[in-house]
Structure formats: structure tokens, C-alpha cells
A and B are shown apart, each in its own frame.
Chain A
């Protein structure tokens, strides 16, 4: 070992010259500024949604009321908004009950979950527990393609194939119902299909994280693969699996183009899966299609609906974060 302590020529003591240090601090500040932009984005979303949603309920934005002194005139009560069963803010005799469009979103989400959760979980079990290495290396990227296809393409698939070729004939043959251009069930199907890869890939990651010792222990006791899959792997990976469900549900709630082209624009609460319904996102698209000018009730209603949508997905995401943290703690 050398006892030489004298730094060679050209190497200054400490790290860098003073100018370098100043440059380093400046770079750090700029980079921190970049990171702060992401936080500002969230704050801006909150601000814009609350500010404009206020104009829907009281006719003036909060900022307008504060800075321009514009009065709060109209009253759409929260009772009407959250419990009314007719949604037609743009109608000549307007109605402001969000329930029909909230029902649409809920129906599509639940229906899609009935498709994506069982199929996605079973797919994850197949890939994680049964598939050979070569099958796995082909199946996973294939399903990832499914996740990468733009939602507008799924919307096209629904309106050009699922609804007229799959749902229509089945409804006609079994129930004698004539399905129109749009139907609730094709919305459920198409959103279900597009969320399968989210469930399968995240669940599969969780299943892969289950230590092999647990499996081997069960095999040593004489358990079959079926027992190991359902009684060992699934319980051990359960928080990761739930996280994938929540992510899929959150995605289904916010899904726009596929449901718009699959389920349509008719806001009503119905138990008939073959009828046309409207989700919250579809309502927003229908407003964007029209020429709703700033200051009209239609324009303002966009933000009230958007705020409800944002709060719904945000709570799902927070729940997902919580589960993910638990899931990481278990295997680290």
C-alpha cells in the first residue's frame, strides 16, 4: 500500500474548484425545479378542476369571484348533483343529477372487472406456474402488445366488430333484442379485454416474487400443482394481485375512447345490458364534440364531472400505493 498522500499535479484538493462547486449547486437547483414541475402539475389539476367546477355550481369561478367580484348566482345544490336521476345540463329543461353517468361508469367498470379479473388472474397463474420458459417468453410480449394498442383502436374494434358481429347476433338469437350501434355489454367487453394485460402482468410479477421455498414445502407435503397455485402462491401474492385489480379498475373508470365508441351517449340507468348508456368520460367527449363556449353550463359541467372522475381515480391510486408498499415490505 502506498503512503503517498500528495495529490498529483492538476488534481486539486477536495472535489473540484470553487467554480465547479457553484456550477454543481446551480445544476442541482435547476434539476430540483424540474422535479417540482411534476408536483405543480398535480396542483394545477386540482386548482383547475375545483375552480371551474365551482362555476358549475355557483355560476362564477372561485378566481372570478375573488378577483373580479363576480357574484355567485346560480345554485345547483350538491343534493341535486349527487342524488338527481336525470343528467341533461345542456337540455332546454336542464337536469343536473350525475347518477345516470356515474352509473354508466360504474356499470362499465364492474362489467370490465368481471372480464379482466378472472381471465387476468388465471393468465398470470398460467404464465407464472405452468408455462415453460419458451412459452412464457412469447406469451408475455404478446399480452404487452395488447396493453400498448391505443384505446381509440379498441373503440373501433367495439363499434366495427364486437357490437355488430358478436353482441348483436347473440342478443338477437337469445333474447330477440335488436341491438343498436352502441351497447353497454360491448363497452364492458372491450374495456375488460384492454385491462387483462394490466391484471396479468402485475399479478404475475407478484406471483414470481413468491419464494420457491414455499412452493417446494407444499410439494414436499404431497400437494399438487393445483393446491400449490391456489393455496400457496395466490395467498402469498395476494396484496400484489389486489394492487393489479385496483389498477385495472382505476384504468376502467378513466377509460374514454373505447367506452365512448362502444357504449354510446344515452345517459340512463338501466339493467338491460344491450341498451345504450353514457359514462362520465363519454359525456365529456360529447361536450367536446359540440361547440360548448366558455361560460355555458355545458362547459362548466365538464369540470364538475371531471372532478368527480379525478377524485375516483385518485382514491384508487392512493389505495394502490398503499397496497404496493405492503407488498414490497413482505418480500424485501
Chain B
């Protein structure tokens, strides 16, 4: 720590500092912060190891056949339960979510980044966006439950779940789209204006094509987050449905809600079904993240 050296001459510069203690203190501190950094890594390792172990035990000891697991629908009987209905429901849900959130999200981002004047309305929209990003996901579920499922009487259907998830990921899509638009150099815009193009022509023909890979990357990452969201789906009543939904107006239970239903069962067989479901869910998320990273790397240098 700081020491009073005003009276010290050169040779006793460190006279009142115990250097040994200073070294020890530094080493202990490094040990502490290093251990803390490793804590997160170890926790992640344990989590993945636990799921991998349960997956393995499920396949070997509980004789869960992976092929049957992926091609059967859910069931109250543990030995007949499969994941097909949930997988199809989740994919359908992602389609609805992507459709609903992409255009509105990208549109909002273009407005905020390219058109918005610096006034009170813009500040309000931006502050509101920051707050929306912090709203707990379960609250979006409540909104969809009261307004859509019961308010206009749509029932617990895929579309209602999709709206809840679309509203949930909207702030993420907007922020990532804004970043992608910001990454387009201003010189490109000015060049377009110089040829007499309007703002909208510039955006549509010059800025958007250049920003599109970044926008897609952000959207896919947002969807990868949405596919694991459980609470909003539970609130709209997506639970205890086993079969494949026949369309966006059918009842459903997605992958995360099915995993929850299994994990909450007391039977060990169901717990291991949940572990296998989690492996499928994480694999799908990993794939989506992989696509996003691939897109980013492929187009990063060209912009």
C-alpha cells in the first residue's frame, strides 16, 4: 500500500515496506482471482459432464433408444415417451418467432440508426428498448396469456407462444441489427447520396445488403436464445401436449417445456429422458450458433 516516504533518503526507500509481505499478498491475491475465474469454468464443466453422464446412463441403463426417442411423441408412460412432438413444435415456434420479430426488429433498428432525429421521442424509444431487454421472460408469457390466449381467446397455440418469444427477442435483434448497420462505413452512404439516391434507396440498395450478414447472424443468435426459453411457454399453457402440432393454430409443447415436464417427475426414468432432451436442445443451439459464426466469418472481411 502507499507509504509515507517523505522523510526517507534514497537508501531506505522501502524501509517501512515489508517486501516479503507485499510479495505474499500479491501471490495470494492472484491465487484468489485465478481460483474465481476457474470456478465458472469448473461449474460449466460439471454441468456438461452431469448431462453427458445422465445421457449415457439413460441410453445404457434405462434402455432409451435414441431412434425411438426422436421418432415418438410424448407419453405419460415413461417407456413410450419420445421427443418428436416437442422438436417439431419448437421448430415451428422458431419459424413463427423469426417471422414476427425479424421484420419489426430490423425495421426498428433501421429507423433508430438511419432516420431517427435526436429528440425526445427517439430517446424514449431507446430507453424503453433498454428496459424491455431487462424484463423477465415470464412477464412476456403473462402478456401473451392475458392478451392473446384468453383476451382474444386464441388458446394455448403455437402462434401465441411465438408472439411471446418474438417480443422477448425483439430487443436483442434490434441491438444486433443496429451494430451491423453501424459497421457499414459512412463513405458508402455518402457515395450513394452523391449519385442522387434518396435515403431509402441508399438504405435498401447499399446499406442493407452490406449489413445483411451481420443482421442474419444476430437474428440466428437471438433465435438460439429463444429456443431454450421455457417460462413464457409455460405461462401460455404449452404443457402436457404430447403430439405434433398440425400448424401454428394448434396446441403444443416445445422442447424446453417437455424437458421441464420430465425433469419435474419423480421417476428416474423421466429424469434421464430430460437429460437426453437437453442434449438434443443443446445440439440444436450449438448448430444455430455454428451457422451464425460461419456467416460472420464468411462475410466479415467483405464488408
Contact = CB atoms under 8 A, between A and B. Distances in A.
Interface of A: 11-12, 14-16, 20-21, 23-24, 27-28, 30-39, 41-42, 44-45, 48-49, 51-52, 118-123, 125-127, 129-131, 139, 142-143, 145-146, 148-157, 159-161, 181, 193, 196-197, 200, 221-227, 229-231, 247, 250-251, 253-257, 261, 281, 284-285, 288-289, 294, 302-303, 306, 309-310, 313-314, 316-318, 320-321
A23 B50 CA distance: 57
A24 B201 contact: yes
A28 B200 contact: yes
Contact of A48 (B103, B142, B237, B260): B142
A261 B228 CA distance: 15
Contacts, number: 285
A141 to B, nearest CB: 11
B30 A130 contact: yes
Interface stretch (B68-76, B78-86, B244-252, B270-278): B270-278
B29 interface: yes
6 contacts: A28-B199, A42-B131, A49-B142, A149-B228, A161-B47, A306-B139
A23 B106 CA distance: 18
B143 A281 contact: no
B136 A281 contact: yes
B160 interface: no
B201 A20 contact: yes
B95 interface: no
B132 A321 contact: no
Interface in B104-147: 104-108, 110-112, 115-116, 124-125, 127-132, 134-143, 145-147
A205 to B, nearest CB: 15
B125 A309 contact: no
A100 B130 CA distance: 31
A313 B37 contact: no
B241 to A, nearest CB: 13
A34 B102 CA distance: 11
Nearest to A10: B196
A156 B58 CA distance: 15
Interface stretch (B59-67, B166-174, B210-218, B294-302): B166-174
Contacts of B1: 227, 231
B197 interface: yes
A196 B40 contact: yes
A146 B44 contact: yes
Nearest to B151: A48
Which among A44, A152, A318 has the greatest number of chain B C-beta atoms within 10 A?
A152
A52 B139 CA distance: 13
Given A221-B2, A294-B150, A16 B198 contact: yes
Contacts of A42: 128, 131-132
B185 to A, nearest CB: 20
Contact of A197 (B40, B237, B264): B40
B78 to A, nearest CB: 16
Contact of A123 (B40, B136, B234): B40
A162 to B, nearest CB: 9
A32 B111 contact: yes
B6 to A, nearest CB: 13
B142 A35 contact: no
Interface in B214-268: 224-225, 227-231, 234-235, 237, 239, 256, 259-260, 263-264, 266
A155 B263 CA distance: 9
A189 to B, nearest CB: 9
A126 B34 contact: yes
Contacts of B36: 118-123, 126
Interface in B143-163: 143, 145-147, 150-151
B259 A122 contact: no
Q: Is the interface of B mostly helix, strand, loop or mixed?
A: helix
B287 interface: no
Given A31-B108, A34-B107, A257-B230, A302 B2 contact: no
Contacts of B151: 48
Interface in B188-209: 193, 195-201, 203-204
B230 A152 contact: yes
Nearest to A221: B2
B180 to A, nearest CB: 16
A36 B264 CA distance: 40
Given A11-B196, A143-B40, A122 B25 contact: no
B134 A200 contact: no
Contacts of A157: 46-47, 50-51
A151 B198 contact: no
Given A38-B108, A247-B134, A224 B26 contact: yes
Given A35-B111, A44-B147, A118-B36, A160 B137 contact: no
B135 A313 contact: yes
Contacts of A131: 37
Nearest to B131: A317
Nearest to A200: B40
B285 interface: yes
Contacts of A130: 30, 33-34
B115 A142 contact: no
B115 A32 contact: yes
A150 B263 contact: no
A229 B29 contact: yes
A44 B182 CA distance: 30
A28 B111 contact: yes
Nearest to B22: A224
Contacts of B167: 41
Contacts of B198: 15-16, 20-21, 23-24
Contacts of B43: 146, 193, 196
B177 to A, nearest CB: 11
A32 B128 CA distance: 15
